[in-house]
Amino acid sequence: MPTKKSAGSADWSDPDDAPDLTEDMLRTADTFDGDRFVRRGRGRPKSAVAKEQISVRLDPDVIAKLREAGPGWQSQINDLLRQGLGLGDTGRRAA
C-alpha cells in the first residue's frame, strides 16, 4: 500500500525567531492601507501638480528648432511658454 507524502516541512520554527527586517525587505514588501492592497505601479510616482496632456499643431521649423535641444525637448516647451507668459519659474531644473 502506497504511503502519503508529506505536504510540508516537518521542522517547526518559532515565529519569535523571525529575522529582523531590513531596508531592502521593507522596500520590496507588499503595502496595505487597512485591508486594501496598495499597488506600486511602474514608472515614477504621480506629481502633486499633474500636467494636462493636450494636442497642439506647430510649424515644422518651430519643431525642428525645439528638437535641436535634444532629449526632453517636449518638456522644455512648458518652460518656454511659462517664460513667454511671464508666469515665472516652476522650480524644476533642467538636467
> For 18-77, what is each residue's pLDDT tens digit?
888 888 888 888 888 888 887 766 777 777 888 888 999 999 999 999 999 999 998 899
Number of domains in the chain: 1
Domain membership of residue 86 (yes or no) is yes
Domain membership of residue 60 (yes or no) is yes
| Domain of residue 92, residue span | 53-95
**Rounded to an integer, what distance in angstroms lies between the CA atom of residue 42 and that of residue 94?**
23
Domain membership of residue 80 (yes or no) is yes
Domain membership of residue 76 (yes or no) is yes
Domain membership of residue 71 (yes or no) is yes
Largest Cα separation within the chain, whole Å, is 88
pLDDT grade, residue 94 (50/70/90)? very low
**Rounded to an integer, what distance in angstroms lies between the CA atom of residue 24 and that of residue 22?**
5
**Rounded to an integer, what distance in angstroms lies between the CA atom of residue 17 and that of residue 5?**
28
- Global pTM? 0.45
